[in-house]
């Protein structure tokens, strides 16, 4: 329901893709600092997330970000679909606070995003867990009950992709591996 509602509030271009005109790194840091007000261990300085120089290669591995512990850098894939950026950035920033397990960083990212004041950041957080919850719900209640609940809108499915098809085509055309 949150994804369906927030999807309708997103600014979009002519092709229906989400547009975001604020600085994504600043907003991710703001979301993490806001969460740090609730959880002391998340409070403090956050460096600006950096785009991966090899995002095409990381895309082939379905990797949205990478935390490099030796330089304490939070890196993100800058060719993935824009809806993934905030959740990926917050995830990598969570690693900076010592949460190395992926599921912990995912949960912290989710919390940071959904508590943001920005609707786009919230949407990214909800999208980051949508299919996990949808699959678990289906398995828990069965098919008959599942189809009685609100459906995921087509626009949400369109937004919940790792890469747009044009990017996949470009990456595959230029791929060395």
Condensed to tens digits (0 to 9), the pLDDT of residues 86-95 reads 999 999 999 9
Residue 118: per-residue pLDDT: 97
Q: Residue 29 CB: number of other CB atoms within 10 A?
A: 21
Per-residue pLDDT at 68: 92
DSSP-assigned beta bridge partners for residue 65: 76
For residue 33, how many other CB atoms are within 10 A of its CB? 16
According to DSSP, the β-strands at 50-51 and 65-68 are unpaired
Q: Distance between CA 80 and CA 163 in Å, rounded?
A: 5
Pairwise CA distance, residues 33 & 175, whole Å: 38
Name the pTM for this structure. 0.94
Q: What is the pLDDT of residue 175?
A: 78
């209640």: which residue's tokens?
141
Residues 6+ apart with CB under 8 A from 110: 87, 125, 128, 129
Q: Rounded distance, CA 118 to CA 18, Å?
A: 14
Name residues of the chain where pLDDT drops below 70: none
């Amino acid at each position: 329901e949150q994804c369906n509602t927030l999807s309708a509030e997103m600014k979009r271009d002519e092709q229906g893709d989400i547009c975001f005109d604020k600085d994504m790194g600043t907003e991710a840091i703001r979301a993490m600092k806001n969460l740090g007000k609730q959880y002391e261990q998340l409070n403090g300085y956050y460096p600006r997330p950096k785009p991966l120089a090899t995002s095409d290669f990381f895309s082939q591995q379905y990797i949205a970000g990478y935390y490099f512990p030796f330089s304490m850098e939070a890196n993100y894939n800058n060719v993935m679909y824009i809806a993934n950026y905030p959740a990926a950035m917050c995830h990598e920033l969570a690693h900076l606070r010592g949460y190395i397990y992926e599921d912990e960083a995912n949960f912290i990212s989710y919390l940071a995003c959904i508590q943001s004041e920005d609707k786009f950041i919230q949407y990214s957080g909800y999208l980051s867990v949508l299919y996990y919850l949808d699959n678990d719900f289906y398995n828990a209640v069965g098919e008959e009950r599942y189809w009685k609940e609100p459906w995921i809108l087509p626009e949400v499915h369109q937004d919940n992709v790792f890469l747009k098809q044009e990017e996949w085509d470009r990456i595959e055309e230029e791929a060395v591996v």
